[in-house]
Amino acid sequence: MSKIKNLVLGGAGMIGSHLCDFLRSKGEEVISLDLLTGFDLRKDDLNKYKDVDFVWFLAWDVGGSKYLTDKNNFISIIKNNTQICERVFQFLEDTRIPFLFASTQLAAPDNVYGVTKLLGENWTKALGGKIVRFWNVYGWEDPGERSHVITDMVLNGLKDKHIKILTNGEEERQFIHAEDCVRNLHSIKNLEGEEFDLSSGKWVSIKGLAQVIADKLGATVAVGTVKGYNNRMDPKHNVHLFKFEYDLETGIAEVIEQGKKYLSR
């Protein structure tokens, strides 16, 4: 029997790279396409990949809160993601390959990033694909403009023994480790249903998150006065189907160890 052939769009990102490793560990074939490795979904030809069995549509112009809330990035977020949608969904419409679209808890009309994800969700529904909404997937990632809150807090705690939050820290999030994410993501492929919220169901405030990290590093925490963006809605689609091996403290401890290695380099 031939191997299942997967096309992972965005395979060099944090979630995508974990997914590629997981699929290979299952003996499946993986083709990874990513802007980071030279493939631009806004213009490069996908037609040579018509023979794949399944497409994982993870690629997107995205980053952490500091990237998504910076008004200087709004136009590029809209342009890049609508161009990606047009090219990828046309390929999926032409080929009718089964696929999964990675959306987000922030898919909503009140933010630029969320609007583009809503576009992707509706396109997916029209083509009969699966939608999975991620709720703050974390793991180690090299720091930069697009890095996410846990990596940034860990590095600040390691370098400065101090974690500064720009908001008042009252906004709440749900977190899931990347390993738990891809393990459950793979199971969704064979589940009945069209929409899934992939999350732990456990809320934690940003201030509380910072304190967990600070306690592990012997660091201090300072909060600001600005009210942060809070989209406190409960996961509603099939959350009970998922299993998690990482609790937040275990996952943070792993990121801290990887952060130490990064700084030592």
Global confidence as pTM: 0.92
User: Topology of 1-134 in CATH?
Assistant: Rossmann fold (3.40.50)
pLDDT at 156: 96
Q: Is the pLDDT of residue 65 over 80?
A: no
Q: What is the pLDDT of residues 181-235, one digit of tens each?
A: 999 999 999 999 999 999 888 899 999 999 999 999 999 999 999 898 776 666 6
User: To which residue do tokens 């630029």 refer?
Assistant: 112
**Res. 243 pLDDT band, cuts 50 70 90:** very high
pLDDT single digits (tens) 120-158? 999 999 999 999 999 899 999 998 888 889 999 999 999
The DSSP-derived string for 80-93 is HHHHHHHHHHHHHH
Element (H, E) at 100: strand 99-104
> Can you tell me the distance from the alpha carbon of 211 to that of 153, in angstroms, rounded to the nearest whole number?
10
For the chain, what percent of residues have pLDDT higher than 90? 79
Residue 36 has pLDDT above 70, yes or no: yes
pLDDT at residue 15 greater than cutoff 70: yes
Q: CB neighbours (10 Å) of residue 65?
A: 20
CATH of domain 140-173+202-230+238-265: 3.90.25.10
Q: Is the pLDDT of residue 97 over 70?
A: yes
Indicate if the pLDDT at residue 1 is higher than 70: no
Q: Convert the pLDDT of each residue in 166-182 to its tens digit.
A: 899 999 999 999 999 99
What are the domain boundaries of the chain?
Answer: 1-134, 140-173+202-230+238-265
